[in-house]
Amino acid sequence: MSSTWKNNIEITIFGESHGKAIGIVLGNLPSGIKIDLEEVAKEMKRRAPGQDKMSTARKEADKVEIMSGLQDDVTTGAPLCGIIYNSDQHSKDYSLLKEKMRPGHSDYPAFIKYRGFNDVRGGGHFSGRITAPVVFAGAIAKQILAKQGIQIGAHILSIKNEYDENFDMRLSTKTLEYLRRQHYPVINQEKYEKFVNIVDAARMDQDSVGGKVECAIIGLKPGLGEPFFDSIESHLSSLLFSIPAVKSVAFGNDKISELFGSEANDCYYYQDALVKTTSNNNGGITGGISNGMPVVFTVGIKPTPSISKEQKTIDVKKHENTTLGVHGRHDPCIVFRATVVVEAMAALAMLDLVR
């Protein structure tokens, strides 16, 4: 089972949802960087479960114990290892899932690949729980990037078929600061209650919903990235698609394929010594390389597959068709807690790019 992503920096994740602990190791970080651990804790709280009805009832503090790589809150250059101990597992809720495969979940392909030895409790290593250490790593990456003038922010763009406003494609740091003050960030506050109502209705019907997160990276200098095999799009996507439940990634204007070339092209102009574009339909990336405008992309997240509503499935022990209603504690919508995860993955990808 692969658990390492390696390029200029190294990322290794470990643990399982109902195991003793989960964690991450970050290798090849720059030394001598002061880290604000209070800010890291705030990022962890944004993803932590059990805070309200928009998330699972599972209670986890998500407090990170740093084992190496940090001394007096300063990076030492050694691999930075963070561990989060699990404390609120209800493993008995998953006893049937060794035999009955959850529709839409990893159970069946994992059963085949790992010959039935994979840990199904809470999804095991496939669980969104593993994104907690990713958020920790992303919080570190964000602080390193901020020293280079690079900032990252995201908001809930949609829940099911209800949409928030899109980013202004030429957005400024003020928008990201506005979103940073919100636990579940949206641009138009009136949309938030509509989002909550949609999720509530699905939850009461023993169902779930998905949605989209829109993320922006500002302050990225032009000229970063490579054409073809290591474009910024492919570099980012390799990490974004590693987030459980992510099914799509789109850069810039997602309607660009419907435009004429004269409409889609981002025309250049000088603003004093800076080169800018009159629009940002390409999301700050052309030819796979940053052009100095904000990098903007949208991530599509599917509905939570574990739902109480009874569905058709198979019993791999009896080799017969059956039905299954998944009981336990699950998010009725993953999107609310996913914004900070998307930001974290984007931060790690950008740190790797500029390292």
Q: What is the pLDDT of residues 129-147, one digit of tens each?
A: 899 999 999 999 999 999 9
Strands 289-290 and 320-324, how do they pair? Answer: unpaired
Phi, psi of 173, deg, nearest 5: -65, -25
User: Which residues have a Cβ under 8 Å from the Cβ of 131 and sit 6 or more positions away?
Assistant: 47, 243, 244, 338, 341, 344
Q: How many CB atoms lie within 10 A of CB 261?
A: 6
Residue 340, token pair as written in the block = 């900070």
How confident is the model at residue 94, as a pLDDT? 63
- Known binding positions for FMN: 125-127, 287, 302-306, 329
Mean pLDDT over residues 158-182, rounded?
91
How confident is the model at residue 277, as a pLDDT? 95
Q: How confident is the model at residue 246 (pLDDT cuts 50, 70, 90)?
A: very high
- pLDDT over 90 (residue 119): no
Residue 335, token pair as written in the block = 């999107």
**What beta strand segments (E) does 40-185 contain?**
64-68, 70-71, 74-75, 80-85, 151-159, 162-163
CA contacts within 13 A on the Cβ side of 305: 19
**What beta strand segments (E) does the chain contain?**
4-6, 10-15, 21-27, 64-68, 70-71, 74-75, 80-85, 151-159, 162-163, 211-218, 246-251, 268-271, 274-277, 285-286, 289-290, 295-301, 311-315, 320-324
Mean pLDDT over residues 96-100, rounded?
84
CA distance 114 to 275: 52
DSSP character for 100?
B
Phi, psi of 164, deg, nearest 5: -80, 175
Structural contact between residues 72 and 32, judged by C-beta atoms closer than 8 angstroms: no
How many domains is the chain partitioned into structurally?
Answer: 1
Question: Positive or negative CA dihedral for 354, 139, 137, 105?
Answer: negative
- What whole-number percentage of the chain has pLDDT above 70? 93
Mean pLDDT over residues 225-246, rounded?
95
DSSP reduced 3-state for 198? helix
- Known binding positions for NADP(+): 47, 53
How confident is the model at residue 268, as a pLDDT? 96
- Domain of 26? 4-354
Q: The domain that contains 247 carries what CATH number?
A: 3.60.150.10
Q: What is the pLDDT of residues 258-297, one digit of tens each?
A: 999 999 999 999 999 999 999 999 999 999 999 999 999 9
What mean pLDDT, rounded, does the chain reach? 92
Ordered DSSP codes for 13-50: EEE-TTSSEEEEEEESPPSS-B--HHHHHHHHHHH-SS
Structural contact between residues 284 and 295, judged by C-beta atoms closer than 8 angstroms: yes
Q: What is the pLDDT of residues 41-86, one digit of tens each?
A: 999 999 886 565 565 555 567 899 999 999 999 999 999 999 999 8
- Known binding positions: 47, 53, 125-127, 287, 302-306, 329
